[in-house]
Chain A
Amino acid sequence: MAPIIEIKNLTKSYRRGNQSIIVLENLSLDIKENDFLALMGPSGSGKSTLLNLIAGLDKADSGSIIVQGIDISLLIETELAKWRADNVGFIFQFYNLIPVLTAFENVELPLILTKLSKKERKEHVFTALKLVGLEDRMDHYPGQLSGGQQQRVAIARAVVTDPAILVADEPTGDLDRVSAQEVLKLMENLCSTIGKTIVMVTHDPRAAKKAGNIMYLDKGVLADDPQTSFQECV
Chain B
Amino acid sequence: MILKLLFRNAFRHRLRTVLTICGICVAILAFGLLRTVISAWYAGVNASSATRLVTRNSISLIFPLPISYKEKIRNVDGVKLVSAGSWFGGFYINEKNFFANFAVESKSYLDLYPEFVIPSDQKSSYLKERKGCVVGVKLAKRFGWKLGDTVVLKGTIYPGNWEFVIKAIYKGRDKNVDESQFFFHWEYLNETVKKLWARRADQVGFYMIGVTSPDIAAVAARNIDKMFNNSFAETLTETEKAFQMGFVSLSQTILTVIELVTMIVIVIIMVVVANTMAMSVRERMNEYAVFKTLGFGGLFLAFLILGESLLITSLGCIMGIILTFPAADAFMGAVGDYFPIFNISTQTIYLDIIASFIVGVVAAIFPVRQAITVPIASGLGRIG
* B-binding residues in A (CB < 8 A): 43, 47-48, 52, 55, 57-58, 78, 81-82, 84-86, 90, 92-94, 96, 98-101, 105, 108-110, 112-113, 169-170, 173, 201, 203
Q: Is B287 an interface residue (CB 8 A)?
A: yes
Decide: A100 near B377, CB < 8 A? Known: A47-B384, A78-B297, A93-B383. Answer: no
* A-binding residues in B (CB < 8 A): 1-2, 4-5, 8-9, 12, 286-287, 290-297, 375-377, 380, 382-384
Complex-state Cα separation, A14 to B370, whole angstroms? 21
Decide: A108 near B1, CB < 8 A? Known: A82-B295, A100-B9. Answer: yes
Query: Which residues of chain B are within 8 angstroms of A113 by Cβ–Cβ distance?
Result: 294-296
Complex-state Cα separation, A169 to B253, whole angstroms? 66
A-B contact pairs, 6 of them (CB 8 A): A85-B295, A90-B293, A99-B12, A105-B1, A105-B4, A110-B294
Complex-state Cα separation, A85 to B1, whole angstroms? 18
Asked if B9 and A81 make an inter-chain contact with CB atoms under 8 angstroms apart, the answer reads no
Which residue on chain A has the smallest CB distance to residue B7? A100
Which residue on chain B has the smallest CB distance to residue A90? B293
Asked if A84 and B295 make an inter-chain contact with CB atoms under 8 angstroms apart, the answer reads yes
Which residue on chain A has the smallest CB distance to residue B12? A100
Asked if A98 and B287 make an inter-chain contact with CB atoms under 8 angstroms apart, the answer reads yes
Which residue on chain A has the smallest CB distance to residue B379? A57
Query: Which residues of chain A are within 8 angstroms of B286 by Cβ–Cβ distance?
Result: 96
Asked if B295 and A81 make an inter-chain contact with CB atoms under 8 angstroms apart, the answer reads yes
Which residue on chain A has the smallest CB distance to residue B297? A81
Asked if B5 and A58 make an inter-chain contact with CB atoms under 8 angstroms apart, the answer reads no
Asked if B296 and A81 make an inter-chain contact with CB atoms under 8 angstroms apart, the answer reads yes
- Expressed in whole angstroms, the minimum distance between the Cβ of B260 and any Cβ of chain A is 41
- Expressed in whole angstroms, the minimum distance between the Cβ of A112 and any Cβ of chain B is 7
Query: Which residues of chain B are within 8 angstroms of A43 by Cβ–Cβ distance?
Result: 384
Query: Which residues of chain A are within 8 angstroms of B287 by Cβ–Cβ distance?
Result: 96, 98-99
- Expressed in whole angstroms, the minimum distance between the Cβ of A204 and any Cβ of chain B is 11
Query: Which residues of chain B are within 8 angstroms of A85 by Cβ–Cβ distance?
Result: 294-295
Decide: A81 near B383, CB < 8 A? Known: A58-B376, A105-B1. Answer: no
Chain A CB within 10 Å, residue with most, of B295, B377, B380 = B295
Decide: A170 near B384, CB < 8 A? Known: A57-B376, A113-B295, A113-B296. Answer: yes
Asked if B295 and A173 make an inter-chain contact with CB atoms under 8 angstroms apart, the answer reads no
**What 6 new A-B contacts, CB under 8 Å, besides A48-B383, A96-B290, A110-B294?**
A55-B293, A82-B295, A90-B294, A100-B9, A109-B294, A113-B296
Decide: A100 near B294, CB < 8 A? Known: A93-B384, A170-B384, A173-B384. Answer: no
Complex-state Cα separation, A219 to B4, whole angstroms? 46
Query: Which residues of chain A are within 8 angstroms of B8 by Cβ–Cβ distance?
Result: 100-101
Asked if A98 and B294 make an inter-chain contact with CB atoms under 8 angstroms apart, the answer reads no
Complex-state Cα separation, A84 to B294, whole angstroms? 7
Query: Which residues of chain A are within 8 angstroms of B296 by Cβ–Cβ distance?
Result: 81, 113
Complex-state Cα separation, A98 to B300, whole angstroms? 15
Query: Which residues of chain A are within 8 angstroms of B375 by Cβ–Cβ distance?
Result: 58
Asked if B292 and A81 make an inter-chain contact with CB atoms under 8 angstroms apart, the answer reads yes
Which residue on chain A has the smallest CB distance to residue B381? A94
Complex-state Cα separation, A78 to B298, whole angstroms? 9
Complex-state Cα separation, A57 to B375, whole angstroms? 9
- Expressed in whole angstroms, the minimum distance between the Cβ of B373 and any Cβ of chain A is 11
Complex-state Cα separation, A218 to B299, whole angstroms? 39
Asked if A201 and B384 make an inter-chain contact with CB atoms under 8 angstroms apart, the answer reads yes
Chain A CB within 10 Å, residue with most, of B287, B291, B297, B384 = B384
Asked if B295 and A110 make an inter-chain contact with CB atoms under 8 angstroms apart, the answer reads yes
- Expressed in whole angstroms, the minimum distance between the Cβ of B26 and any Cβ of chain A is 28
Which residue on chain A has the smallest CB distance to residue B294? A110
Query: Which residues of chain B are within 8 angstroms of A201 by Cβ–Cβ distance?
Result: 384
Complex-state Cα separation, A78 to B296, whole angstroms? 9
- Expressed in whole angstroms, the minimum distance between the Cβ of A83 and any Cβ of chain B is 8
- Expressed in whole angstroms, the minimum distance between the Cβ of A188 and any Cβ of chain B is 21
Which residue on chain B has the smallest CB distance to residue A113? B295
Which residue on chain B has the smallest CB distance to residue A80? B295
Query: Which residues of chain B are within 8 angstroms of A99 by Cβ–Cβ distance?
Result: 12, 287
Asked if B384 and A98 make an inter-chain contact with CB atoms under 8 angstroms apart, the answer reads no
Query: Which residues of chain A are within 8 angstroms of B376 by Cβ–Cβ distance?
Result: 52, 57-58
Complex partner residue of A57 from B9, B293, B384, CB under 8 angstroms: B293
Complex-state Cα separation, A101 to B294, whole angstroms? 15
Asked if B5 and A98 make an inter-chain contact with CB atoms under 8 angstroms apart, the answer reads yes
Decide: A48 near B384, CB < 8 A? Known: A58-B375, A81-B292, A96-B286. Answer: yes
- Expressed in whole angstroms, the minimum distance between the Cβ of B281 and any Cβ of chain A is 14
